[in-house]
Structure 1
Amino acid sequence: MARELFAAADDANTPISMNEVARRAGVGVATLYRHFGTREELAEAVYLSKVEEVTERAAQRTRHGDARTALAAWSEDFASFMLAKRGMMDTLRSSWMSEDITASPIAQRIADIVAGFLRRADVDRSLRPGLDAFDVSLAVLALLTTASTDDSGPRVHRLIALFIDGLAPPTQGTERDEAGS
């Protein structure tokens, strides 16, 4: 129920209140608050299920590809989803900015997803070594903030592609000479 309400609110670009969620779910607002202390916690739970769907779709499409291809597909799908759900992006951004991002369950799940791509890259060597899952996650999230509210995301998708390309391991002959840089 909450998922549908948040989706409708996102589509209409209007916020949904905890009172409205409780009323539509047929429970008391106190019951809702016992399970979710804040609207942001409820939003994270709702959108976490959507992130799982995005992740599963990308995993199915890139099952036989390398880690960089899989990370690129997931990042593109995640960006498209987030850009379509601007209300979610605003809600989650306020949650992440008000606390340590590592304390956010959805931020932690996103970092776990990215960590899976990084582990895969340890085997296939399609991403540069030594990447931090939270750093990569934060970079993708930061790129999402470059889209204005009337932009469907072409710039974001170009920036994500550029970012993912930058995560490729250096190739022979293109590494900078440490003494000369």
Structure 2
Amino acid sequence: MMTHAATTKDSTRRPPPRRARADRERNRDVIVTAARALFAAADDAGEPVSMNEVARTAHVGIATLYRHFGTREELAEAVYMSKLDEMTARVDSRTRDADAHTALGAWAQEFATFMLAKRGMMDTLRATWQSGALDGSATASRITAIIAGFYTRSSTDHSLRAGVDPADVTLAVAALLTTASTPERARRLIALFIDGLAS
């Protein structure tokens, strides 16, 4: 039978659940921040990033890194999501007084510029699109949620054509980005597509 003293000693050895969660979140943020810098440098140099390099830069053990991100692809997706959220926040701030259609157009062009400037991200998007795995992926879900926000905004100003599935917009933008022959053509095609979504 466990004594009260043993129970007390064991409980003092374990960090409180809230603190443990905070530590996990802090470690995750540190890892993503380190990975963002490494992936950006790798994009410029055209070189891959190793998980060991990320762990060293983040000053965490490799086991800690793998507890948060089981694969390099999961880590790359977390970096991508972080940058995507920042980009979306900038567009939201810049288009606060615009109608939903104008705001969606600004976001789509910013998204295209963001993706086309990152060779590693475009390679990942292209491979995911060609494999048919984009529809229903975490990446597609996040983008679709962002686009759905513009349609929610349109419920007030009615500037976007009704009856459009935001998931269809996600797939269309991805298809245009990954199949256009040049970045300039990709931006033009996306602009034409977004123009067609006006009410």
State the TM-score, normalizing by the size of structure 2: 0.76
Tell me how far 1:60 sits from its aligned partner: 1.2
Percent identical among aligned pairs is 66
**Is residue 131 of structure 2 the alignment partner of residue 101 of structure 1?**
no
CA contact (8 A) 1:118 1:127 kept: yes
Instruction: Give the AA of the match of 1:161.
Output: A
Counterparts of 1:47-126 in structure 2 under 5 Å?
47-95=80-128, 97=131, 99=133, 101-102=135-136, 104-126=137-159
Tell me how far 1:72 sits from its aligned partner: 0.3
**Cα root mean square deviation, aligned:** 1.8
The residue aligned with 2:55 is 22
**Equivalent-residue separation in structure 1 for 2:125 and 2:69 (angstroms):** 15
Gapped regions of structure 2 (runs ≥ 5): 1-33
Normalized per residue, which structure has more helix?
2
The residue aligned with 1:175 is none
The residue aligned with 2:186 is 156
The residue aligned with 2:66 is 33
Gapped regions of structure 1 (runs ≥ 5): 170-181
**Equivalent-residue separation in structure 2 for 1:31 and 1:94 (angstroms):** 28
The residue aligned with 1:174 is none
Instruction: Give the AA of the match of 2:50.
Output: S
Closer, same or farther: CA 57–100 of 1 in aligned 2, 3 Å: closer
Tell me how far 1:95 sits from its aligned partner: 4.8
Tell me how far 1:48 sits from its aligned partner: 0.7
Q: Which has the higher contact order (CA 8 A, sep 6+)?
A: 1
**Equivalent-residue separation in structure 1 for 2:156 and 2:188 (angstroms):** 27
**Equivalent-residue separation in structure 1 for 2:134 and 2:179 (angstroms):** 22
**Equivalent-residue separation in structure 2 for 1:22 and 1:95 (angstroms):** 26
